[in-house]
């Protein structure tokens, strides 16, 4: 085992990765931990500590070499391995995901969409192949799909996840407000829209000056 990297560190490094991606086509070739702090809010010493977990990278008076650091993160986390994804549930949110430029620009290919409503699918205007939900297991396997975005109605979320898992899915991004909790080695990232609202409310109520992030985990 190559040494365990703590989850908060993984999250921060992915955030830094995006910054590097922006900066890569910029004027300078390097960036310091202090500059990373200014742009991301992650304290400089934490940035250094996190990066040091990746093994060493030659330093310098200038800070980190942007390209070098980016590649190091990319390799460590296998971000360069191409991943195929699908979207299940093609109402407004699901459709927005199917056509999401951010996702496509980052190199993640969305290769299929699923919905239980065949009429709706026939009306949709997209190049991505669409299938009825009863074909999920079959198509996930056939297309070797790694990741799925779940945007179905809450009452369908669990069975949708189970179909995906039977098809061999590796990771799920779950937009439904149902807590998906599997023993297996399926990784689920939950994006709870409503909870983000509640967290804003809660943070205002408790102090008004918490830090506000988590990705989170997550929406």
What angle do the packed helices 7-24 and 44-52 form, to 10 degrees? 100
Is 144 a binding residue for its own copies by CB under 8 A? The answer is: no
For residue 117, give the nearest of 81, 67, 153, 68 by alpha carbon: 153
Regarding 133 and contact with its own copies (CB under 8 A), the answer is no
Q: How many residues does the chain have?
A: 219
Q: Which of 32, 76, 99, 218 binds DNA (CB under 7 A)?
A: 32
Among 60, 132, 168, 212, binds DNA (CB under 7 A): 60
Of 96, 201, 200, 196, give the one whose Cα is nearest residue 149: 96
# residues near DNA by CB under 7 A? 24
- H or E segment at 17? helix 7-24
Site size toward its own copies (CB under 8 A) is 79
Q: Which of residues 62-81 bind DNA (CB under 7 A)?
A: 62-64
Q: Out of its own copies, DNA, none, which partner does residue 173 contact, by CB within 5 to 8 A per kind?
A: its own copies
Quickly list DSSP for 190-214.
Answer: E--HHHHHHHHHHHHHHTS------
Q: Is 209 in the site for its own copies (CB under 8 A)?
A: yes
Q: Which of residues 108, 121, 156, 162 is near its own copies by CB under 8 A?
A: 108
64 φ, ψ to 5°?
-85, 145
- Least separation, in Å, of the C-beta of 11 and DNA? 9
Q: Is 25 in the site for its own copies (CB under 8 A)?
A: no
């Amino acid at each position: 085992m190559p040494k365990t990297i703590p989850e908060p560190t993984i999250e921060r490094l992915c955030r830094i990765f995006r910054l590097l991606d922006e900066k890569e086509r910029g004027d300078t070739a390097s960036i310091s931990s202090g500059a990373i702090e200014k742009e991301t809010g992650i304290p400089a010493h934490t940035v250094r500590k996190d990066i040091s977990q990746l093994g060493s990278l030659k330093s310098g008076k200038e800070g980190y070499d942007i390209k070098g650091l980016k590649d190091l993160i990319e390799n460590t986390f296998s971000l360069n391995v191409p991943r195929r994804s699908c979207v299940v549930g093609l109402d407004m949110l699901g459709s927005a995901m199917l056509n999401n430029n951010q996702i496509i620009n980052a190199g993640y290919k969305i290769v299929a969409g699923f919905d239980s409503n065949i009429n709706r699918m026939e009306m949709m205007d997209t190049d991505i192949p669409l299938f009825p939900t009863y074909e999920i297991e079959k198509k996930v396997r056939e297309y070797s799909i790694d990741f799925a975005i779940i945007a179905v109605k809450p009452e369908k979320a669990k069975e949708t996840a189970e179909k995906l898992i039977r098809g061999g899915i590796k990771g799920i991004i779950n937009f439904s407000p149902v807590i998906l909790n599997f023993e297996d080695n399926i990784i689920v990232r939950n994006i709870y829209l409503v909870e983000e609202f509640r967290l804003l409310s809660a943070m205002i109520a408790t102090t008004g000056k918490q830090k506000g992030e988590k990705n989170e985990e997550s929406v």
